Amino acid sequence: MDKLCGSPYTAKQEEEEEELDSSTDTSSSLLLCRLRHHKTGLDDVFKSLATFLGGQRVACRGGPFGWPPGSTTGGVKFSSSLALGKPPSSLPSVDPLRLKALSMGLSKELKIHLIKVETVGRQTFITSEMEERRIPLSNISIENTASEVIRACKGARVKGKFKESYLLPAFSVKPNIAIETPIPREKLNPPTPSIYLESKRDAFSPVLLQFCTDPKNAVTVIRGLAGSLRLNLGLFSTKSLVEANAEHAVEVRTQVQQPADENWDPSGSAQTWPCESSRSHTTIAKYAQYQASSFQESLQEEKESENEEEGEQTKPSDPSASPTGKIIKFGTNIDLSDPKRWKPQLQELLKLPAFMRVASSNNMLSHVGHTILGMNTVQLYMKVPGSRTPGHQENNNFCSVNINIGPGDCEWFAVHEHYWEAINNFCEKHGVDYLTGSWWPVLEDLYSANIPVYRFIQRPGDLVWINAGTVHWVQAVGWCNNIAWNVGPLNSYQYQLALERFEWNEVKKVKSIVPMIHVSWNVARTIKITDQDTFKMIKHCLLQSIKHIQIMRDQLVAAGKKICYQSRVKDEPAYYCNECDVEVFDLLFVTSENSSKKTYVVHCEDCAHAKSPSLAGVVVLEQYRMEELMRTYDTFTLVSLILYCCKAQL
């Protein structure tokens, strides 16, 4: 073996080996050599071994993932066997100098155990182990290869569910906002960042994208957008909507009309946070009739008021008196996703800059793979004065685009994402759920808590850009329609906030409308990332996902549970647990709820074990081969911006 490796070899050693071979019939002897090699030199070593064993029948056992490609074999642990038939009359000669050259001046050490087994008419050389030092799971980072991650998981022997965050605090890109320093009362209503567009060129300027997505800017009002881009907003007017699809469904919210900066309890004795409304349904045609009649009534009331005698004036309202607001109806969540029904409307929105469009390559929501109504599709809102969109953050903290069609105005309130937990505490104090409840902040409560509030008017043709995580609430000042949708700019701030809300939703057992693990893998497969912060966050999410999947697989196999492979099909949606609404990625725990109707239900790991500790009656489906995930993980690398731009120009 020393001769094979290019090491000094003496005649005495050769005689000893021959004597050992002749003294054993079916026994085996272990020969150990150390080869120093580069990653790229490993293939040459095996080529030389193949030459040495030339002309023989070879069978390889490549471990659980098959034989790795030559470019990734450095540091990979796997097993293989070379089964040999009867030796030929003569073997090709091996040049020991060539093998010696391979072993000189190389950087890594590789252990090869060759076991020689002799049987009648057959020889077998088994390469039983090739391994580097196993890295502890706690030391694994995004710098490691997928093979190293898998190897660390197999050696960790984690008991119970693997619980680690998909986020790493060290990667945070949130702006530092000092909340300890008291803000003077006059500065608790800061000016809203606004941009006035004068031309189409202004709208497509990269500066606009940078300004809107700046983490320090909670909200941006873009004035004159419709005019500069020559958007035909008349396509979204009530008249056009009725002509296009009069019987289209409209969700209606019945509310009490109140001043925008007030929110009274049902008794009218005090201001409060809960903002309840009842839900019903109607059609575009019927709501259009209500909207028009409401406008006519208002004109009539205004006319009657003007005819009153000069001396008679309505007494100013007493804040302490019980308000008696009238009942109004707000037409909300009108789905404009159908490209056949709403073709002219959707085509008009293609005039917008790419980062504002419903779909674009750098929009994470375009990589979900299926429709999420109101997020990666357009929704319409039909309003009368006083119609309220209660306080909220967008689903998974995504950005949103809102255009006022007119003819009336809307009043907006917005708070930076940094203060969402303080607002959450107010909701808890007033007995309303922050994530799923309906609430309208009392401004005095926010000011007393040192929380600045942006307050501004959105006029017809104005576009409001809500940045990632911004808390906001809106009230119609006049009769108007609005269109809105969500956008997920592929930047580090948006991605971090989306994952943070994904994990918070899991804690609160609230469904994340955006399946962030599913989206992260899709982005890694299809998008070239040039921003280092964004790359590190996505790579870490993939790392945690692989660790979770591999550890779960090992536990299932150890428990004797069969895992059935069933690949995904085109446009197949992401899956959620039937009980707790958490996203279920790759490994699905499936039960049959109704055998006659063949109804199958997906569960997460925890809920499946809660249903059946031994997983009896549970089928485990695997949607991705581990090799596929490993390949995606390894090929997802940071791309040089200069190189990316050069390729884009070719």
**pLDDT tens figures, 245-288:** 999 999 999 999 999 999 999 888 999 999 989 999 999 999 99
The predicted pLDDT at position 640 comes to 82
The tally of CA atoms less than 13 A away on the side-chain side of residue 429 is: 11
pLDDT at residue 88 in the model: 41
185-275+334-488 fold: Jelly Rolls (2.60.120)
For 229-296, list the strands marked E by DSSP. 249-256, 278-283
Q: Is the pLDDT of residue 59 over 50?
A: no
pLDDT, mean of residues 157-162: 80
- 515 touches 583 (CB < 8 A): yes
What are the tokens at 223? 């004035």
Between these two residues, 200 and 158, which has the higher pLDDT value? 200
Mean pLDDT (whole number) for 357-366: 97
- Give the model's pLDDT for residue 178: 76
Q: What is the pTM of this model?
A: 0.78
The tokens for 331 are 């037409």
Q: Is residue 160 scored above 90 in pLDDT?
A: no
pLDDT at 647: 57
What is the per-residue pLDDT for 193? Answer: 98
638, pLDDT greater than 50: yes
- Whether 54 has a pLDDT exceeding 70, the answer reads no
Cα 234 versus chain centre, distance: 35
Higher model confidence: residue 327 or residue 7? 327
What number is the average pLDDT over the span 16-35?
A: 37
Pick the more confident residue, 166 or 5.
166
CB atoms within 10 A of CB 262: 13
Phi first, then psi, for residue 23 (nearest 5°) are -95, 0
Span 362-398, pLDDT tens digits: 999 999 999 999 999 999 999 999 999 999 999 999 9
Domain ranges of the chain: 2-133, 185-275+334-488, 515-649
Residue 43 pLDDT class (50, 70, 90 cuts)? very low
Q: What is the pLDDT of residue 25?
A: 41
Read off the tokens for 207. 């500066």
pLDDT at position 642 over 70: no
d(CA 254, CA 311): 37
In whole angstroms, give the CA distance from residue 511 to residue 505.
6
pLDDT at 122: 52
547: number of Cβ within 10 Å: 20
Paired strand residues for 458 = 410
Asked if pLDDT for residue 94 goes beyond 70, the answer is no
Nearest residue to 221 via CA among 525, 549, 466: 466
Closest of 176, 145, 178 to residue 75, by C-alpha: 145
Topology of domain 515-649, CATH: Cysteine Rich Protein (2.10.110)
pLDDT tens sequence across 205-253? 999 999 999 999 999 999 999 999 999 999 999 999 999 999 999 999 9
Q: Between these two residues, 128 and 455, which has the higher pLDDT value? A: 455
pLDDT at 32 over 50: no
Report the mean per-residue pLDDT for the chain: 82
Confidence of residue 101 (pLDDT cuts 50, 70, 90): very low
CB 497 within 8 A of CB 400: no
Output the pLDDT for position 290. Answer: 98
Task: Express as a percent the part of the chain with pLDDT over 90.
Answer: 68
More confident residue, 54 or 515: 515
Compute the distance between CA of residue 604 and CA of residue 578 in angstroms, rounded to an integer.
Answer: 8
More confident residue, 57 or 479: 479
Query: What is the rounded CA–CA span in Å between residue 238 and residue 285?
Result: 9
Query: Residues 553-610: pLDDT tens digits?
Result: 999 999 999 999 999 998 899 999 999 999 999 999 999 987 666 789 999 999 999 9
**pLDDT in the model for residue 157:** 78
Encoded tokens for 247: 């019987």
Q: 313-317, 469-473, 630-634: which has the minimum mean pLDDT?
A: 313-317
Q: What is the mean pLDDT of residues 529-533?
A: 97
- Would you state the structure tokens that stand for residue 623, as one six-digit string? 């949607």
- In this predicted structure, which of 165-169, 300-304, 516-520 has the lowest mean pLDDT? 300-304
**What is the widest separation between alpha-carbon atoms in the chain?**
128
Instruction: Provide the pLDDT for residue 599.
Output: 86
Q: Which pLDDT score, from 0 to 100, does residue 176 have? A: 87
What are the residues facing 219 on neighbouring strands? 466
**Does residue 302 register a pLDDT over 90?**
no
The confidence score (pLDDT) of residue 311 equals 52
Reported as a pLDDT band with limits 50, 70 and 90, residue 643 is low
**DSSP secondary structure letters along 334-372:** EE---TTTTHHHHHHGGGS-GGGSSS-TTBGGGGSSS--
Confidence class for position 405, pLDDT limits 50, 70, 90 = very high
- Asked if 126 and 82 touch (Cβ cutoff 8 Å), the reply is yes
166-197 residues labelled b (16+ CB within 10 A) or e (exposed) = bbbeebebeeeeeeeeeeeeeebeeebbebeb
pLDDT at 339 over 70: yes
End-to-end CA distance of the chain: 53
Give the angle subtended at the CA of 447 by the CAs of 480 and 444, to the nearest 5°: 70
Cβ pair 104, 36 in contact under 8 A: yes
Instruction: Give the DSSP per-residue string, 482-512.
Output: EEEEEE-BSSHHHHHHHHHHHHHHHHTT---
When pLDDT is averaged across residues 398-411 and rounded to a whole number, the result is 98
Distance from C-alpha of 212 to C-alpha of 202, rounded to nearest angstrom: 13
85 or 390, higher pLDDT: 390
DSSP letter assigned to residue 64: G
